[in-house]
């Protein structure tokens, strides 16, 4: 079974990229973030023609998440239960015997800001909810754009970016809090090329110079660790014309 996550930074713009990628990489589940469209604009027909059904949770202009899968998705939840949020950031469903959670974590803007405080509250609520989800269904996959780096290996300039957004001690502590629930960072289970990133700024030739961050992650419950056979970043879509600033991360589980 293959699962992937990809912040497409506007599905309207990037739909051809997504369809081409799915044809070349027929994953079983694809979590998308930053759809930037409302549910009535979601391209169900185009994805159905490609052999996929979708659960979406859109929002005009910003945010929006979706789970695209070959098998039907059931027990769908949108956003974090019990946490009031006007932003469309989370979609979860049962797919293929797994509990799959796709999430677009808040950016946070800058430490000390109101948006950073919201990010901390959101992360705390996510952890509380996921603890209950893991107790109910240990075969859980959490994937998406986390907007947080694990450590300096995930940062092209760890000195210059120290204590800036995505790289603060507070954010990384929250990320370790998720690991503490019994989740595993699947990419780190395998040797990766040096300077492996998932996001590059559009400015200053960020991708060409490989000045990026690893902020897109796939975490799995500890009980799934024995099934994890491969995890890698697919850099190719970032080199396309009019690309998203993120690129997919792909996880392979043995059956």
Catalytic residue among 104, 154, 216, 245: 104
Interatomic CA distance for residues 123 and 180, integer angstroms: 13
Interatomic CA distance for residues 41 and 30, integer angstroms: 19
The tokens 């603060």 sit on which residue?
168
Q: Are 63 and 88 in contact (CB under 8 A)?
A: yes
Q: In sequence order, which residues have a C-beta less than 8 Å from that of residue 15 and are 6 or more positions away? A: 43, 46
Which three-class secondary structure state does DSSP give residue 224? helix
Tell me what percent of the chain is helix, strand and coil, each rounded to the nearest 5: 30, 30, 40
Catalytic residue among 28, 85, 114, 145: 145
**Active-site residue 104, yes or no?**
yes
Interatomic CA distance for residues 7 and 62, integer angstroms: 12
Interatomic CA distance for residues 133 and 111, integer angstroms: 29
Q: DSSP string of 126-185?
A: HHHHHHHHHHH-SSEEEEEE----SSGGGBS-TTTTTTSTTS-HHHHHHHHHHHTTTEEE
Which three-class secondary structure state does DSSP give residue 57? strand
Q: Which residues are catalytic?
A: 104, 145
């Amino acid at each position: 079974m293959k699962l992937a996550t990809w912040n497409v930074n506007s599905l309207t713009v990037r739909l051809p990229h997504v369809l081409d990628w799915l044809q070349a990489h027929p994953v079983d589940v694809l979590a998308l973030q930053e759809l930037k469209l409302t549910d009535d604009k979601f391209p169900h027909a185009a994805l159905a023609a490609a052999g996929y059904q979708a659960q979406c949770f859109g929002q005009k202009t910003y945010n929006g998440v979706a789970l695209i899968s070959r098998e039907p998705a059931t027990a769908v939840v949108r956003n974090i239960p019990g946490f009031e949020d006007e932003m469309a950031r989370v979609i979860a469903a049962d797919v293929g015997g797994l509990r799959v959670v796709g999430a677009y974590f808040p950016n946070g803007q800058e430490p000390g800001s109101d948006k950073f405080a919201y990010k901390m509250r959101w992360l705390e609520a996510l952890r509380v909810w996921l603890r209950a989800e893991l107790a109910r269904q240990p075969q859980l996959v959490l994937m998406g754009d986390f907007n947080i780096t694990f450590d300096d290996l995930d940062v092209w300039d760890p000195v210059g970016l120290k204590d800036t957004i995505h790289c603060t001690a507070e954010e990384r502590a929250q990320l370790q809090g998720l690991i503490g629930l019994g989740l595993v960072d699947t990419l780190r289970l395998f040797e990766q090329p040096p300077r492996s990133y998932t996001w590059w700024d559009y400015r200053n030739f960020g991708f060409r110079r490989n000045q990026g961050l690893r902020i897109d992650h796939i975490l799995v419950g500890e009980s799934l660790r024995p099934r994890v056979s491969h995890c890698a970043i697919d850099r190719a879509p970032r080199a396309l014309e009019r690309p998203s600033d993120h690129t997919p991360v792909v996880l392979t589980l043995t059956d």
